Amino acid sequence: MEVDFHSLYSELRVQPDCSLDDFKRAYRRRVAELHPDRHGDQAVRPDMPGMSLPDLTLRYSQAMQFFRAHGRLPGSPPPRVNVRTTHLTRPPRPHVAPATGESPGFANVSQRSWLVLLVLLAIAAYLVFSSPPASAALR
């Protein structure tokens, strides 16, 4: 099934070569206009021509799938290929900086790992401090 993304772009009032942020912002704005909570539970409003909310959401998700697969929105020009590379690469994922006060070295350690370490330390402390001194055991 061929999807007509041009009608999606005209519905959102953006161009195919717009940025991903502009595309998402336009989608959210249009969803807010069409949402049934805003219009008293009417799925389709005759005074608002255009796509229905489910159709808009379906086409948006298809455009996002295309973006994840190709690194661009459908209808936008393909990225320029570097002469030195022989294949296209995906766009780099954005780096997520750790929260303030958190060192980046411990960013990948899960809470469960910390809990296991804490339990093991508690067991070791119990064994060390609960056993009688070696001099008392010899008497």
Please state the pTM of the whole predicted model. Answer: 0.51
The rounded distance, in Å, linking the Cα atoms of 103 and 35 is 42
Exposure on the CB side of residue 120, measured as CA atoms within 13 A:
6
Q: Indicate whether 19 pLDDT > 80.
A: yes
Helix (H, G, I), strand (E, B) or coil at 62: helix
The rounded distance, in Å, linking the Cα atoms of 23 and 4 is 16
pLDDT at 47: 54
Query: Which is more confident, 43 or 35?
Result: 35
What is the maximum span of the chain, computed from C-alpha positions, in angstroms? 97
Q: Indicate whether 22 pLDDT > 90.
A: yes
pLDDT at 133: 65
pLDDT at 110: 77
77 torsion bin: left (phi>0), alpha (psi -120 to 50), beta (else): beta
Which residues lie below 8 Å from residue 90, measured CB to CB, with a gap of 6+? 71
The rounded distance, in Å, linking the Cα atoms of 52 and 30 is 10
Helix (H, G, I), strand (E, B) or coil at 128: helix
